[in-house]
Amino acid sequence: MTEPFKIYTNQNSFWKGLFAFFLLVLVSNTMFSQQTTIWNQISISKWESVSSDGLVRVEARVTGGASISGNEIMGCTSDATYGDPTPDVFGSSSLEISANPLSSGSIQFHFFDMGTGDAVYITNPFLHVDKVGTFGVLPIAFLTGTNTGVFTSTNGTWSNISRNGPIFEFTSTQFQIDADALLSSNDGECGNGVSTGTGGGTMRMDDVVQSINMNVSVNGLLTLFREDVEFVLSNLIIAEPELEITKTVIENFSSPVVIGDDVDYTIKVENTGNVEINNIELTDTFTDADGNTISLSNSPTFSSATMSSIEGILLPGEVATYTADYDLTLNEIEKGGVINQVSVLGDSPYGADDTGDLSDDGNDTDGNLLNDLTESFFPAPLDDTTSTEENTSVDVLVTSNDDFGGNGPNSGSIFIVSTPTNGSVSLNANGSATNPLDDYFTYTPSIGYLGSDTFNYGVTDSKGYTQHATVNISVYTCPNAGIDGILNICLGDSFENAVLFASLTGSPDTGGTWTNNFDDTFTYTLTAVAPCTVDATSIVTVIEHDPPNAGGDGTLNICQGSTFTNADLFAQLTGSPDTGGTWKDNTDGTHTYTVAAIAPCTVDDASIVTVTEQAQPNAGIDGTLNICQGDTFTNSDLFAQLTGSPDTGGTWVDNTDGTHSYTV
């Protein structure tokens, strides 16, 4: 503890200083954490030291009559001076600062973050002081007197934690040595005599500060002696204002969830930092499951604090409890739940609204450990509407539009709540009893029923909350165009649409339209009317049949007295008469041939054969022509020899035997 300009009056001082140096080495491993260590010079008026935990850089600055002498060892007084209630700094490295009695000055200790280099606030730092007072009096009677340094805080107040004797005088803003006590001391660094080693103490800053600022002056009769003081700073804990807020919920839900069910919220705000937080305010953000803003039934209300602080103030480690609640309305029932998060803001000792947090839901098992929304979900199934034709079952995949909510579906099936009035319903798990998402219902209307019907079903989420929905069914009949038919007509006959319609089977509905397909088919169409979507059609095929054909009239010439058959008559018909007809003798020399009509033809066809009887040819009676040999004759000469009134127009044939034949 030596320095060049010190006037020693005690020869043991050097050895005491040397002892203190070795003591520092021995206790360095047990040095109180978060205190200053070895000091290093930056400039003539600025030195620095890094805290023992390596987190804080302390910068000592002096002005005016104050000057920095350098490193010292805190060991002039007993270790008890600094041991209660703070850990022992006895034997630690210190910074010695001298105060000039002729000029006042200032001493400042500034704090910086070793990581960022930024100025930081320290929570109630401790200032350990030693060697206050010169403890030196010149041994000249007429110069009897003393000097003492007076150190005055300029940026806050402090509290005295400990001192090694009553002569260490202290107020909330100042410390010094009782000047009268110095008169009874021998000179020397620590003093020898009644008041030996009683010039030290420890102060704690009452505030969170970025620096400790003091003005220093030396008061006394003797202006030859300066004041030498050594300092150790401890409790160098960076102020970390921090709040953590958690919002948990108790869900008081019915089965199914109904209007008026409520959620009760408990909000815990904890001061997890190391400084007091004031003006704490909560802001609650409350929405339905779709993110639409709603308002709590009862906003967060202060309940208590674990250290009995009033609302708006939290000491380090203290937890405040607030409560809130909400009663569900139809809106939340339809949306499937509510989402809540609360933010907190407070004032640190050195800033307004500079400390805050967003709430977590208190459940870390969901994998989200930070700012997790407080969510209350339940299923929100939607009503379904479907339709089916008369006497036809329909499958209803109700889960296709259902929301099981933020909790997700359970591992069971959906279920029937109430059955339909005019039919039946069954559940189909679709082969996966543990997956309700593919479940569906099959509705079967009662035979012949037309109209509306309903049934109710329920879904369950993974937390066991249930909700119900309704399926509305319309049972209808679609247009019926009947069954395809065939229309047989007689070739050349015309027909109306009514004739085509009559050819359809299956009880077709009237009012449709007919289309000629120009391929001997006609299509009958009934336009679909909602909920039907497909037009009904049927086809009539028209088959034309040939009418009966009795051929054209004819004539049958016969010799008088000859007989004839129907075949003889049929052979006389012209055209291409159908066979199989019937003949009728009209007894007037005519015969009628009739071919009966076969459906679809309705008119018989007839033709007539007229029978004409002709007289038998008369060649007369054989005769003889006598001529002279060598005479010639003609056919007329021959004809003239016939008797019996022969017909003319016949033909003569010379038989070359002297006879001639006449043929009619």
Q: What is the per-residue pLDDT across 487-500, written as a single tens digit (0 to 9) for each?
A: 999 998 999 999 99
Q: Where does 243-377 sit in CATH, by number?
A: 2.60.40
The one-letter code for the residue type at 403 is D
Contacts of 33 (CB under 8 A, 6+ apart): 51, 52, 53
| Residue, of 2 and 144, whose pLDDT is higher | 144
Give the range among 97-101, 147-151, 639-643 with minimum mean pLDDT: 147-151
pLDDT tens readout for residues 31-82: 446 999 999 999 999 999 999 999 999 999 999 999 999 999 886 555 445 5
Rounded mean pLDDT, 620-636: 91
Would you say 547 and 490 are in contact if contact means Cβ atoms under 8 Å apart? yes
Q: Which two tokens stand for residue 261?
A: 């069910």
Mean pLDDT of 111-139: 80
DSSP letters of 89-141?
Answer: -TT-EEEEEEE-TTS-EEEEEEEEETTT--B--EES-EEEEE--S-----S-G
Mean local confidence (pLDDT), 261-274: 96
Half-sphere exposure for 24 (CA within 13 Å, toward CB): 18
Give the per-residue pLDDT at 80: 47
pLDDT bracket for residue 367 (50, 70, 90): low
- Give the separation between CA 93 and CA 511, rounded to whole angstroms: 113
Inform me whether the pLDDT recorded for 625 exceeds 70. Answer: yes
The percent of residues in the chain predicted with pLDDT above 90, rounded, is 70
Which of 243, 92, 228, 72 shows the shortest CA–CA distance to 148? 228
Identify the pLDDT of residue 90: 79
Q: Which of 482, 487, 479 is nearest to 522 (CA)?
A: 487
Q: What is the pLDDT of residue 144?
A: 44
Half-sphere exposure of 91 (CA within 13 A, CB side): 19
* Residue 183: pLDDT over 70: no
pLDDT at position 13 is 37
In this model, does residue 138 exceed pLDDT 60?
Answer: no
pTM strictly above 0.75: no
61 CB contacts (<8 Å, ≥6 apart)? 45, 46, 107, 108, 109, 110
- Residue 557 tokens, joined: 């010439």
Distances (CA, A) of 219 to 69, 169, 227: 20, 14, 10
Span 248-257, pLDDT tens digits: 999 999 999 9
pLDDT number for residue 356: 93
pLDDT tens digit string along 156-177?
A: 999 988 776 666 788 999 988 7
User: Looking at residues 565-593, what average pLDDT do you find?
Assistant: 95
Confidence of residue 193 (pLDDT cuts 50, 70, 90): very low
pLDDT of 23 > 70? The answer is no
Residue 388 burial (C-beta neighbours within 10 Å; 0-12, 13-18, 19+): buried
Beta strands in 451-535 (DSSP E): 451-460, 466-476, 485-490, 513-516, 521-526
Q: Which among 53, 61, 60 has a CA at the least distance from the CA of 115?
A: 53
Where are the domains positioned within the chain?
Answer: 13-234, 243-377, 384-476, 485-545, 554-614, 617-664
Let me know: does 357 contact 243? Beta carbons within 8 Å.
Answer: yes
pLDDT, tens digit, 9 for 90 and up, residues 394-421: 999 999 999 999 999 998 889 999 999 9
The confidence score (pLDDT) of residue 11 equals 33
Q: For residue 383, with 0-12 CB atoms within 10 Å meaning exposed, 13-18 middle and 19 or more buried, which class applies?
A: middle
Predicted pLDDT of residue 81: 52
d(CA 111, CA 132): 24
What is 384-476's CATH number, 3.40.50.10860, 2.60.40.10, 3.40.50.150, 2.40.70.10? 2.60.40.10
Best mean pLDDT range from 26-35, 365-374, 429-438, 635-644: 635-644
Q: pLDDT tier at 533 (50, 70, 90 boundaries)?
A: confident
Q: In angstroms, rounded to a whole number, what is the distance separating the alpha carbons of residues 592 and 608? A: 4
Q: What is the mean pLDDT of the chain?
A: 86
| Cβ contacts of 243 within 8 Å, gap of 6 or more | 269, 270, 271, 272, 273, 277, 280, 314, 344, 346, 355, 356, 357
